[in-house]
């Protein structure tokens, strides 16, 4: 239960990233000014930080949950109350991180959505805080939990007498689980690293950026695209690399095709048996911050087997 709920939250947060990060950031950067309503300036930037934070923090919570289920199955039991408390903490922390963006961002007289901090050091502290809480700390936690789970699964031996077929299946499942864990951590690290470095350079040595404004704008767009692409990468990893998901999707598509064929056959039978006087044929039915970006405009203008009895078996069955 926990895994599905976590994945639903990640999916919702990733959709919010696509809505609030891509259109506003790229439009403002390419046009050099804010063309939307003034109220959308603080709203969009705060929602960007909120959605990115929720997505990243939920991934961390999922990693910790899988770690506890695998290595400490007797302690960690699926609980709806535990999930609600976890999500409440995540939302509270994400809202606290996004509030400054709603307070300091305004459209200035040059039609730019800019941040108006009282002191420069406040902006630098906020940027560094975001770097730590949304990248460095999550990467450390995900990396450590991933490595511990991978080592545990690799050393795990199936109880009972040796059985070649069973052991080969178990080994294949373990390798698939480890591969998914490693890919998730590596995608997160590599997709967000360029933008994090870029933002850090802008804060610490802005003179270097101002000397190469045109190149900096193109670099920002590329790095921003790479960071938000992590959202659809999550769908690929958590979905299409999961054997159970692929089987369910295949069954769903097969059933949809068969249902459509049955409806067409039924319609043809009815049309042949009870012909309509109208010459119009009736068709069948068919179912159909900028993450933490604040710098684009400024540069340009100055995210069925037996019930498992152990945590490791539960994790492996989830990834089959």
Q: What DSSP string runs through 132-199?
A: IIIIIHHHHHHHHHHHHHHHHHHH---SSS--HHHHHHHHHHHHHHHHHHHHHHHHHHHHHHHHHHHH
Per-residue pLDDT of the chain (320 residues; tens, 9 = 90+): 567 888 889 889 989 988 888 889 888 888 888 999 999 999 999 999 999 999 999 999 988 888 888 787 766 666 788 889 999 999 999 999 999 999 999 998 888 898 899 888 899 999 999 999 999 999 999 999 988 888 887 777 655 555 667 667 766 766 777 777 788 888 999 999 999 999 888 888 888 777 788 888 889 889 988 988 888 887 777 777 667 777 777 777 777 666 655 555 544 544 444 444 433 333 333 333 433 344 444 444 444 444 444 444 544 555 55
Sign of CA dihedral 81, 83, 86, 87: negative
Task: Tell me how far apart the alpha carbons of residues 186 and 154 are, in angstroms, rounded to a whole number.
Answer: 19
Structural domains present in the chain: 2-275+285-319 (1.20.1070.10)
pTM beyond 0.85, yes or no = no
């Amino acid at each position: 239960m926990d895994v599905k709920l976590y994945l639903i939250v990640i999916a919702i947060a990733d959709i919010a990233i696509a809505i609030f990060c891509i259109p506003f950031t790229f439009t403002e950067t390419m046009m050099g000014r804010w063309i939307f309503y003034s109220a959308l300036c603080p709203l969009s930037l705060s929602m960007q930080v909120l959605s990115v934070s929720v997505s990243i923090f939920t991934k961390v919570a999922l990693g910790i949950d899988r770690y506890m289920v695998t290595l400490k199955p007797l302690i960690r039991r699926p609980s709806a109350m535990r999930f609600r408390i976890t999500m409440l903490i995540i939302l509270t922390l994400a809202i606290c991180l996004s509030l400054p963006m709603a307070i300091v961002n305004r459209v200035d007289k040059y039609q730019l959505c800019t941040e108006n901090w009282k002191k420069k050091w406040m902006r630098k502290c906020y940027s560094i805080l975001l770097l730590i809480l949304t990248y460095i700390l999550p990467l450390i936690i995900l990396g450590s939990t991933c490595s511990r789970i991978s080592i545990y699964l690799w050393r795990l031996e199936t109880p009972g007498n040796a059985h070649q077929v069973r052991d080969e299946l178990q080994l294949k499942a373990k390798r698939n689980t480890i591969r998914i864990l490693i890919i998730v951590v590596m995608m997160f690290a590599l997709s967000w690293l360029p933008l994090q470095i870029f933002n850090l350079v802008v804060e610490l040595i802005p003179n270097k950026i101002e000397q190469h404004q045109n190149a900096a704008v193109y670099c920002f767009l590329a790095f921003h695209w790479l960071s938000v692409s992590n959202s659809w990468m999550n769908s690929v990893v958590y979905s299409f690399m999961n054997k159970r998901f692929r089987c369910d999707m295949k069954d769903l598509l097969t059933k949809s095709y068969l249902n459509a064929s049955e409806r067409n056959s039924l319609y043809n039978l009815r049309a042949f048996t009870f012909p309509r006087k109208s010459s119009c044929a009736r068709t069948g039915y068919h179912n159909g911050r900028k993450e933490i970006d604040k710098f684009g405009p400024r540069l340009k203008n100055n995210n069925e087997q037996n019930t498992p009895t152990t945590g490791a078996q539960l994790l492996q069955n989830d990834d089959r």
